[in-house]
Amino acid sequence: MQLERRDFLKMSAALGAAAAVTGCSPEVAKPVAPLKPTGPETLNWSSCLVNCGSNCPVRVFSRDGIITRIETDFYQKDEYGHHQVRACLRGRSLRQRVYAPDRLKYPMRRVGPRGSGQFERISWEEALDLVAGELGRLRETYGPESTHFTYNSGAGYSFSGKQCLYRLMNLTGGYLGTYGDYSWAQLYKAAHYTWGDANLGWRGSSNSEMKNSDLVLLVGHNPSEIRMSGSGESYDYLNIIQAKQKERAEKGTTFKTIIIDPRYTDSALGKEDQWVPIRPGTDAALMEALAYEFITNGWHNQAFLDKYTVGFDEKTMPEGVGYEESYKAHILGDGPDGLKKTPEWAAPITGIDAATIRQLAKDLASAKAPFIHVAASLSRQAAGENNLRAAHMLPIILGQVGLPGTNNGGLCTGASLFAPSMPTGNNPVQKKISFFTFTQAIQDGKNMTVLKDGVVLPESELDSNGDGKLGTDIKAIINYAGNALINQHAETKKTEQILADTSKCEFILVIDNWMTPSAQFADIVLPDVSWLESEDLVNQAYAAGDTGTLIQMSTAVGPMFECRPVYEMCVELAKRWGVEEQFTEGKTADQWRAEFYAKAQEATPELPNKDVMLKQGIFRKYLPNGSYIVLEDFRKDPEANPLKTPSGKIEIYSSQLAHKAATWVLKDGDVISALPKYVPTWDGYQDLENKQAEFPLQLTGYHTKGRAHSSYHNVPWLREAVEDAVWMNPIDAESRGIKAGDMVIVYNKRGQIEVPAKVTPRIMPGVTALGQGAWYKGFGHKVDKGGCLNTLTSQRTTPLSKGNGQHTNRVEIKKA
């Protein structure tokens, strides 16, 4: 409460000074001298822990417990390879975020309908009693599998974060598990069935291998907007590309950068040699046309395909499967559909002319070491699994895998240094659902099945056909540091109706820092401390680029208001459930942190002692394990280093997928295929539901520089820096009488949003795009004026991963 009083006094002083400036009489408002600081300015290092993949360090200056300014790492000479680890504009705005007007300050209980945002303040004791009582009642009545964690990624702590909640739930019976996530669900499946390891979809070669490449192909990848940190992929990409271009200019070397994307992104802007715009969701058709050129011109690496793959031609097919089912037959028109996948076939689908496709094929085939990076954005399409599998065929068919300067198509591996996290233990509940089907599980989880809905069950609960039911509905939800309860989930108006029904999901707990759209649907809200009020040792996450960084967070400003760390909340709940000793293991929070730090030093002996780290804040190491070439060992010796596929080889034809295609129950239009292939989809360019006339425009989402998913949307600075507007090509805008800056309604049968129009040739005709993550403002209204993309997206799952096809949408746009 002392902090609140100081803020009030400072605000009063500022108002008094303002009154004097505006000429108000002393009788109305007397000037008040600002309070003198009571102590020197203090420096603490902290971190931005949002899920952009690059937890960046920030320098937090405070005086008398109040943050005065935020700076980033700029105190050492910035030389690439030992460069500054600079936070982007998001991290630099953390003071505004911590002191945002919608900051949660104390526990609250819902008093109005769910979603109304009507709450009353309650004490911590009452709040924790209510949480323990309601979760305990529901878990006892319906079983622990009736408790669900919605997907969350807004606070990447090592110590006091979601790991504590998972640990507590596991000690008290477990919870309904999930697989997949909103970013990479289809990517995991594509990698699993191609390489035998889901991680190989996001553990490709190091960025540094681009130095050894003569052609860099980015398919949907946009590091300059999604990986902006000073040590992350954007910095690596820019430095390497610029160095290669300089070498080309000075020495005449061969090098080319090609970007395939519906938008001309900030990763292009003159840094690319060629931009190839493509219609969203049609990537697989392009990849098949490129494969046709490779095969018919003899550019494919037959020796590599014979030795390392299954399913390319008649020589490499599984036993009992004929040539007509092979990849080569499919491409050449010898397969069941009888279609030759020529550039002329692909051109009207993709929007890329046949001559461009042929030249692209020639460039790729001519490259000595093509570095191919396929973005996770392809994973968020209605046929994302096939888009990714088809894109990964490019390095496979050329035999450009496991060699210097190449990549398997996966996301680049980020350098990493070890920072231990709170152990969660094992979940006693072995049932799992796709992360994207939680709204379905609220409504009718008890009837969700393995073969229809992708439910994962223990073998003992499967019938002779491999099927079985989940057998329970979701009755309780825990939403920690996430906005996927409503904002980042799909078809927001439908989700709103599902969550509003308290007879279905009976209890929702939200733990967060701000009153997000998801928090408005809570029954109980508990205020967590922010990152700047926390002590922790964190690694710079999975997309830190080629520099591994550890950050020692400390604080001189918290906890603020009545906020508490999650660890303390869990200790209190553990007391109420009788598992305090098991949860804490008899250790205090400081003892846990000391143990974690000691383990980090064991893993990285060069890491200085904690007292030193508290002062210097960060420890960095460029390429701590050297430059990584994905599948290098497999390429050198496939017998000694087999893949984890059933064959031990790269599986172009997957017998596992052939079995699923024959046994799973699919919706009309959905396709699971043994081969990677282009599949027309619902709401796609070749729309299976015939919505082209009513909704003629494709709408795709993208990540903006002003947010990481939905995090930071409540910072006005960032809303000014990055406009939330729907991108439209001038041809589409003119035909609708729309000019740049006009307020427009973007709509389909799922909802309506109101946003400004950005009219630009940087997007291809027939395609529109909107930055995802804006906070929903449509509760009880027909039109969402917050501009939340998911007001328009569908809850229909993709066929294989049961994931989200949230970049697959058809809409119409009119002036507001």
Closest CA to 98 of 513, 718, 512, 705: 513
Nearest to 287 by CA among 370, 214, 392, 193: 392
Q: Are 267 and 224 in contact (CB under 8 A)?
A: yes
Which DSSP string do the residues of 257-315 spell out, in sequence order? EEEE-SB--TTTTTS-SEEE---TT-HHHHHHHHHHHHHHTT-S-HHHHHHHEESSSTT
What are the CA-CA distances from residue 608 to residues 74, 298, 410 (Å)? 21, 56, 34
Task: Measure the CA–CA gap between 693 and 697, rounded to whole angstroms.
Answer: 9
Q: Which amino acid, residue 799? A: P
Strand partners, 509: 478, 524
Q: What is the tens place of the pLDDT at every residue in 52-74?
A: 888 899 999 999 999 999 999 88
- Taking each helix axis from N to C end, the angle separating 162-171 and 566-577, rounded to the nearest 10 degrees, works out to 10
Q: Residues 492, 150: contact at Cβ < 8 Å?
A: no
Place of tokens 């949480």: 131
Return d(Cα 109, Cα 519) in angstroms, integer: 11
Amino acid at 4: E
Tokens of 744: 């427009």
Q: What is the pLDDT of residue 27?
A: 40
Q: Which of 751, 706, 520 is nearest to 97 (CA)?
A: 706
What's the distance, CA 668 to chain centroid? Answer: 29
- When computed from its CA atoms, the radius of gyration of the chain, rounded to whole angstroms, is 27
CA angle 784, 789, 791 (to 5 degrees): 50
d(CA 466, CA 665): 12
- What does the block give as tokens for 709? 């998913």
pLDDT of the residue at 73:
86
pTM of the model: 0.93
Cα 334–Cα 321–Cα 307 angle in degrees, nearest 5: 90
Helix H segments across 143-266?
A: 162-171, 185-195, 223-226, 233-251
Q: Supply 431's token pair.
A: 């049932």
- CB distance 143 to 151 below 8 Å: no
Report the distance separating Cα 678 and Cα 689, nearest Å. Answer: 17
Query: What was the pLDDT predicted at 32?
Result: 64
Count Cα neighbours of 455 within 13 Å in the Cβ-side half-sphere: 30
Alpha-carbon distance 493 to 560, whole Å?
35
Please return the burial class of 806, using the count of CB atoms within 10 Å of its CB with bins 0-12, 13-18 and 19+. Answer: buried
Q: From the centroid of its chain, how far is CA 20?
A: 49
- Token code pair at residue 749: 């049968």
The SS3 of residue 27 is: coil
Mean pLDDT, 10 residues at a time, over the chain (816 residues)? 41 36 38 69 95 91 96 84 89 95 97 95 98 98 98 94 97 98 97 97 95 97 86 88 95 96 92 96 98 98 98 97 98 97 98 98 98 95 96 98 98 94 97 98 98 98 97 98 97 97 98 98 98 95 90 95 98 98 98 98 97 95 95 98 98 98 96 97 90 93 94 94 95 98 98 98 98 94 96 98 97 97
Q: How many residues does the chain have?
A: 816
Q: In 3D, which of 810, 522, 774 has the Cα closest to residue 682?
A: 810
Calpha distance 400→408 (Å, rounded): 8
* The two three-digit tokens of residue 71, written as one number: 């700076």
Structural domains of the chain sorted by starting position, each given as residue range(s) with its CATH number in brackets = 2-98 (no CATH), 108-182+421-534+559-622 (3.40.50.740), 196-415 (3.40.228.10), 697-815 (2.40.40.20)
| Per-residue pLDDT tens digits for 73-86 | 887 788 888 888 99
Q: What is the pLDDT of residue 36?
A: 65
Q: How far is residue 736's CA from residue 521's CA, in Å, rounded to a whole number?
A: 37
- How far is the C-alpha of 721 from the C-alpha of 504, rounded, in Å? 41
pLDDT per position as a tens digit, 220-261: 999 988 888 777 788 899 999 999 999 999 999 999 999 999
CA distance 116 to 218: 44
Asked if residues 521 and 484 have their Cβ atoms less than 8 Å apart, the reply is: no
Q: 3-state class of 522 per DSSP?
A: coil
Q: What is the pLDDT of residues 599-610, one digit of tens each?
A: 999 999 999 999
Nearest to 630, CA basis, from 373, 364, 312: 373
The CA angle 567-573-579, to the nearest 5 degrees, is 95
Whether 464 and 471 have beta carbons less than 8 Å apart is answered as no
What DSSP state is assigned to residue 683?
Answer: T
Residue listed under structure tokens 């591994």: 548
